[in-house]
Amino acid sequence: MNSLLREQLARCECCPRNCRVNRLAGKVGFCRVPALIKICHAGLHSGEEPPISSARGSGTIFFAGCNLSCVFCQNYDISQGVRPGRGRGSEPQEIARLMLELQRRGCHNINFVTPEHVVPQVIEALAEAVENGLRIPVVYNTSAYDAPESLDLLDGLVDIYMPDFKIWSPELGKRWLKAADYPEVARRAIRTMHDQVGPLQLDARGVARRGLLIRHLVLPGCLEETRAILNWIAAELGPDTYVNLMNQYRPAGKVGEGRYPELDRALPPAEFARALRMAGEAGLRRLDSRTRP
């Protein structure tokens, strides 16, 4: 690992939390992950957007821990249930071998899921994998709570950025994500991603090769949040930005504990239908809006 990456871990500023703990010495910050990262799952995944999964699947690598604390997280055990000393850590060389094995199995891309807090380790693993024959696109699948410095390091290494844009207002960022600055950070990060890779580009088979794909999960009772996000995407990034508008919200994570009654219900079909109309009103032309159970 080069000195710049080691510095990021020795006084961790990998993400906007800026915990400044020495992860090289085994200390952990908000994400609960030391320098030796943990992989929760890896394999071919057919459930991503069609340009990402296509016919042969996306080679997903799910990292433990997260730099957000979304109360409605549907992967709570992976993102927030991790504890120091629990589970087996993976060296970058092991992750590189895993990428090459997924490529050998025929996946369309390597898809890093929740990588915001492990960017230095991902970069080291990517360097090893490319040196040993990795040739398929790299997908950075993120909450968009990313540090500018980390995105600068990823410039030229990531082919496809796939950020969530969760919410618009700082008040809900503080209440639901434990990050009042999330909307500002996400806007800045997504602009940077767009500057690096541009709109999503597909090959002749409709498989993504490069570009930006934004996801937005419509939350119950939050249509004005959705409207603001869609309008911003169209105005700032352009109407040809690929957006996946998702309807599969369900109460999960901490929602059922009674502290977040406003989220303790499924998304009504009528609200999702209104969200679709908002996307049209914003002028977005590349909308993935498949209804999912």
For residue 152, being part of any structural domain is answered with: yes
For residue 6, being part of any structural domain is answered with: no
Cβ-contact 180, 170 below 8 angstroms: yes
* Count of domains observed in the chain: 1
Please state, in angstroms and rounded to a whole number, the distance separating the CA atoms of residues 180 and 172: 7
Count how many Cα atoms sit within 13 Å of the Cα of residue 7 in the half-sphere of its side chain.
5
Query: For each of the chain's 293 residues, which pLDDT tens digit applies?
Result: 677 788 889 999 999 999 999 999 999 999 999 999 889 889 999 999 999 999 999 999 999 999 999 999 988 776 765 554 445 678 999 999 999 999 999 999 999 999 999 999 999 999 999 999 999 999 999 999 999 999 999 999 999 999 999 999 999 999 999 999 999 999 999 999 999 999 999 999 999 999 999 999 999 999 999 999 999 999 999 999 999 999 999 999 899 888 899 999 999 999 999 999 999 999 999 999 765 54
* Residues facing 288 on adjacent strands: 244
Please state, in angstroms and rounded to a whole number, the distance separating the CA atoms of residues 242 and 236: 13
Name the residue range of residue 143's domain: 30-288
For residue 15, being part of any structural domain is answered with: no
Cβ-contact 151, 189 below 8 angstroms: yes
For residue 73, being part of any structural domain is answered with: yes
Please state, in angstroms and rounded to a whole number, the distance separating the CA atoms of residues 46 and 59: 9
For residue 185, being part of any structural domain is answered with: yes
Closest among 234, 243, 241 to 49, alpha carbons compared: 243
For residue 7, being part of any structural domain is answered with: no
pTM for the structure as a whole: 0.95
